[in-house]
Amino acid sequence: MTSIPIFFAVNDNFVKYLCTALESLKEHISNDTEYDIRILYGSLTLENQSLIKAYTSSNIKFSFYNVSSYFPGNLKESYRWSREIYYRLIIPYIFKDLDKALYLDADIIFMEDPRKLYDVDIGDNYLGAVFEPSNKQALGDVRYYKAFESFDNLRINGNYFGSGVLVFNMKAFREHLKFEDIISYIERHDMVYIDQDALNYLCLNHTYGLEPNWNCIYHYHQFQLQLESTGKDMYIYHYAGKLKPDKYALRDKYYLFWKYYKHTVLYSDEEYLKAIANYILDSSDEISLEEIELTAQETFNEYLCMLYVNQVNEWYENGEVLTQAAIYLLLCLSKLYSFEIDERISSTFDYLIEECYWDKGQI
């Protein structure tokens, strides 16, 4: 049986994402492969370690490594980045028995067997990674990158990769890069995406470009457009960034998270309803009708449907503005669970049809 080492770096706050990723992994594993999952951490309770170990099976095993002592205490942290972002950097240096390994961020959904990612031949390169979209519009606000013109140029030219999905050539990485030099570089430079920027600089011209379907980042629609144009499917969906799916449901492909998260012991219907409310009441983002339909089909049950209907009625009674997303989700659920919508609320459908929201495919 082939064994593939897969590394994650988590703290207690990221256990829910890891458990969700593991739920999705169960659907995409091969019987002839052992998934050797190694958890890197600095602070992780025994209770949360037990939650992770519960996913042990005949071909999934877990081990845990506290690697905090390898890193100086003064490394930059922020509300967006915790110390765990650095832990991927130590992998080649303390696991010298491995020739190759995968590192994956925990906030992902598997839609393909990671064995196929492990089997990609990255040659003599230090890393395999997915290069990000190659234009400023895809990157959004690039003012954050102006402090490092070299990184800005890499992004614009499509030579900048994300560090959330990595294939390590352990020997080549270790032979050409010293761990002390990586830490020194980080300490001497003020970077935005700290570990990622450092790896892009240090592995420039030594990174194999993986197919984009191995790291589909939800807010980079160019990834999805590229996949659609080539007829390829997503292999790993990545919720990179600060707007996590457990806080805002209904965003692009967030239903995938909830589809698997609801099978974990951490899930509650009340939490999901709150995440839906956060999106519907606070967000002005567009969402496709297909996303709402998939959300209704893939993530709801009869009890949650009842909670949502009560919540919409409460919003209406309290004078909240019922967005098109709120109403269309209600309509989808009424078809799935065969219930009548309050006439006062259903009267708003005429307005929406007149405005052609349905024809546009966006609301």
End-to-end alpha-carbon separation of the chain, Å? 49
Can you read off the two tokens belonging to residue 55?
């996913």
Classify residue 216: in a domain, yes or no. Answer: yes
Query: What's the sign of the alpha-carbon dihedral 55, 57, 60, 61?
Result: positive
Taking Cα atoms as reference points, which of 300, 293, 278 lies closest to residue 328? 293
CA atoms within 13 A on the CB side of 224: 9
Q: Identify whether 20 is part of a domain.
A: yes
What pLDDT is recorded for position 278?
A: 84
Asked if the structure places residue 352 within a domain, the reply is: yes
Q: Looking at residue 349, what is its pLDDT? A: 65
For residue 143, the tally of other CB atoms under 10 A from its CB is 8
- pLDDT, residue 79, reads 56
The encoded tokens of residue 345 equal 């609320």
Whether residue 290 is contained in a domain is answered as: yes
With respect to residue 237, please indicate whether it lies within any of the assigned structural domains.
Answer: no
Question: What predicted TM-score, i.e. pTM, was given to this entire model?
Answer: 0.88
Residues 135 and 20 in one domain: yes
DSSP designation for 70: G
**Residue spans of beta strands (DSSP E) within the chain:** 2-9, 33-41, 60-66, 100-104, 108-110, 127-129, 165-169, 207-209, 216-217, 236-238
How far apart (Å, rounded) are the C-alpha atoms in residues 154 and 184?
Answer: 22
Give the Cβ contact number of residue 249 at 10 Å: 23
Same domain for 97 and 206, yes or no, is yes
Residue 236 lies in a domain: no
pLDDT at residue number 146: 42
Asked whether residue 235 is assigned to any structural domain, the reply reads no
The DSSP letter of residue 122 is -
Residue that terminates a domain, selected from 230, 261, 296: 230
Same domain, 49 and 77: yes
CA atoms within a 13 Å half-sphere pointing along the CA-CB vector of 45: 7
| CATH number of the domain enclosing 150 | 3.90.550.10
Query: Between β-strands 60-66 and 33-41, what pairing exists: parallel, antiparallel or unpaired?
Result: parallel
Q: Please give the helix or strand (H or E) that residue 153 lies within, else none.
A: helix 149-156
Q: Which of 173, 200, 230 is the last residue of a domain?
A: 230
Is residue 168 domain-shared with residue 278, that is, in the same domain? no
Question: Looking at the structure, do residues 62 and 128 belong to the same domain, yes or no?
Answer: yes
As beta bridge partners, residue 161 has 131
Contacts of 19 (CB under 8 A, 6+ apart): 51, 52, 55, 261, 264, 265, 266
| pLDDT digits (tens), the chain, 363 positions | 899 999 999 999 999 999 999 999 999 999 999 999 999 999 999 999 999 999 999 999 999 999 999 998 777 766 567 889 999 999 999 999 999 999 999 999 999 999 999 999 999 999 999 988 754 444 444 433 443 445 555 554 557 899 999 999 999 999 999 999 999 888 888 777 888 988 998 998 999 999 989 998 866 555 565 565 555 688 999 998 888 899 888 777 889 999 999 999 999 999 999 998 888 776 555 677 788 889 999 999 999 999 999 999 998 888 887 777 888 889 899 999 998 888 888 776 665 544 444 444 444
Pair (255, 202) in one structural domain: no
Domain count, the chain: 2
Q: Which residues of 110-139 are buried (b: 16+ CB within 10 A; e: fewer)?
A: bbebbbebbeeebeebbbbbbbbbeeeebb
List C-alpha distances in Å: 92 to 88, 127, 288: 9, 11, 42
One domain, residues 225 and 247: no
Residues 329 and 296 sit within 8 Å (Cβ to Cβ): yes
| Residues 248, 220 share a domain | no
Retrieve residue 271's tokens.
């939490």
> Do 86 and 29 fall into the same domain?
yes
Based on the fold, state whether residues 217 and 121 are members of the same structural domain: yes
Q: Within 10 A of 185 (CB to CB), how many other CB atoms are there?
A: 16
The verdict on 203 and 101 lying in the same domain is yes
Given 190, 206, 230, the domain boundary residue is 230
Domain hosting residue 31, numbered range: 2-230
Q: Residues 194, 218: one domain?
A: yes
Q: How far is CA 222 from CA 79, 229, 239, 363, in A?
A: 27, 10, 15, 20
Tell how far CA 88 is from the center of its chain.
Answer: 16
